[in-house]
Structure 1
Amino acid sequence: MQLYYAPTSPFSRKVRIIARELGLEGKIAEIMIDPWTDAALREHNPLAKVPTLVLENGMSVFESAVICDYLDEVARANGRETGIIPHEGPERLNALQWQGLADGMMAATGRLFADSRRPENERSDFVMDRQHAAVQRSIDVIEGGIISLATDSPDIGILSVAVALEYVDFRWPDGRFVVSDDLRHWISELSDRPSMIATRYHLLPV
């Protein structure tokens, strides 16, 4: 399998982390690209977005949640007893709900960052305020619930939230978002996992 990714993309990072947590990194060739300029990407994904996973039969799988679900099935088919996505019950819904919140938070963070780089006369204060509120409110909701969850065997929801929170710090290191000390301690426990260390955000080479 081949995975097209960008090191600044939180959705790419989520997939790369999940692959490592499932022990599948050796089965995936990771190809770092700039999705804005790499014409080859559109051959595999009409949206020209990362992450995009190309299977051995040539089929392309895109959207991070879909890729993670597929990798979870591959790991189970290869004999792994416990996947990253609970199969049923409240645990499954809870994990997927946290993933959904994290994905929305990552999208809002990215849009806010992109808008902030536009000339002032091309920005919409209403849109930027809305995205800022979405990110801060998501952080507040996370603090109100997920930090009670254990970090020793994280599922897709917990890992997605960690990816989203670190993305906020990557794009906004100036501390404009309020993150409590308790939540930062919770993040730090996950940040030391090998999968997180191996996939740190960084800018594309110039």
Structure 2
Amino acid sequence: MKIFYHPASPFVRKVHVTALELGLDDRLEKLTSAAHPIRRDANIVKFNPTGKVPAFFTDSDEPLYDSRVICEYLDHVDGRSIIFPTPGEARWRALREQAIGDGLLDAALLARYELTVRPPEMVWLPWREGQLDKVRSSLDEIEARVDAFGDRFDIGTLTIACALGYLDFRFADFDWRTAHPKAAAWFKHVSERPSLAQSFPRDLNAR
């Protein structure tokens, strides 16, 4: 299995954490990439028309994207339904939580791109604030649901952990903890998990 990889991507991190949890990380060949919303990496576009990471190849060289599909494929390869619960209430709960985390990440990435990719004379700060408002409302939803997380670590809580980690990585001045103390306490605890500690991005110059 192969993956177009960038350590700063929170969506790549979802796949990395999943692979670590399942003991499959050593089977992943990590391909360097330079995904960018404007200067698209032609090597990625050949296999994923959006040009985004993660882009993944199965052992039979079948391309898969995006992180939701890749994580579910890895859980299928493992065969134990550890990351994606079997059909039923638990699965719908985990998928809903994944949607919350992915939505937070989508908005945070767009807010970041507004300042780091768009030319200064074209920056639209009200639009960026609108994206950050999506982040805040997602955090409110996480705060309302976090009591039910417990020690559960599936695709839902995994995605939310990666989303909160991305805020710490890219939005150091964004104080999300004060208004969301229960989420902050849960995140402090879950961040001690080896898969999350090992995968936290440390290249602060990466996109």
Shift of the 143–21 alpha-carbon distance from structure 1 to 2, 3 Å rule, reads: same
1:35 is aligned to 35
Aligned to 1:104: 103
**2:145 aligned with 1:142, yes or no?**
no
Q: Structure 1 unaligned runs (5+)?
A: none
Which gives a bigger RCO, structure 1 or 2 (Cα 8 Å, sep 6+)?
Answer: 1
Does the CA contact (< 8 Å) of 1:146 and 1:158 recur in 2?
no
Residues 1:73 and 2:102 are matched in the alignment: no
Cα distance in 2 for partners of 1:119, 1:164 equals 26
Segments of 5+ residues of structure 2 without an aligned counterpart are none
How far 1:54 sits from its partner (Å)?
1.0
Task: Report the alpha carbon displacement of residue 119 of structure 1 after superposing the two structures with TM.
Answer: 4.3
Contact 1:4/1:50, CA 8 A, preserved across alignment: yes
Could you say which residue in structure 1 is the equivalent of 2:160? Answer: 161
Match of 1:198, SS state, is helix
1:11-22 equivalences under 5 Å are: 11-22=11-22
TM-score by length of 1: 0.89
CA distance in 1 between counterparts of 2:31 and 2:119 reads: 32
Matches within 5 A, 1:44-193: 44-76=47-79, 80=80, 82-117=81-116, 118-151=118-151, 153-179=152-178, 180-193=180-193
Equivalents in 2 of 1:192, 1:41: separation in Å? 33
Shift of 1:176: 4.3
Q: CA deviation at 1:198?
A: 1.6
Name the TM-score, length of structure 2 as normaliser: 0.89
Indicate if the aligned counterparts of 2:95 and 2:155 stay in contact, CA closer than 8 A: yes
- Measure how far apart 1:100 and its partner are: 0.6
Question: 1:33, CA displacement in angstroms?
Answer: 2.1
Which amino acid in 2 is paired with 1:49?
Answer: K
Distance 1:199 1:133 in 2: 27
Number of aligned residue pairs: give it.
201
Q: Kindly provide the amino acid, as one letter, of the partner of residue 10 in structure 1.
A: P
Alignment partner, residue 2 of structure 2:
2
Identity of aligned residues (%): 32
**CA distance in 1 between partners of 2:206 and 2:183 (Å):** 32
| 8 Å CA contact 1:136, 1:178 repeated in 2 | no
**8 Å CA contact 1:2, 1:28 repeated in 2:** yes
Question: Would the alpha carbon gap of residues 173 and 38 (structure 1) be closer, same or farther in structure 2, given more than 3 Å must change?
Answer: same
Partners of 1:147 and 1:113 in 2: CA distance: 30
Report the Cα distance in structure 2 between the residues aligned to 1:94 and 1:104, rounded to whole angstroms: 15
User: What is the alpha-carbon root mean square deviation over aligned residues?
Assistant: 1.9
Equivalents in 1 of 2:15, 2:25: separation in Å? Answer: 10
The secondary structure found in structure 1 opposite 2:4 is strand
User: AA paired with 2:94?
Assistant: A
* Residues 177, 184 of structure 2: 8 Å contact kept: no
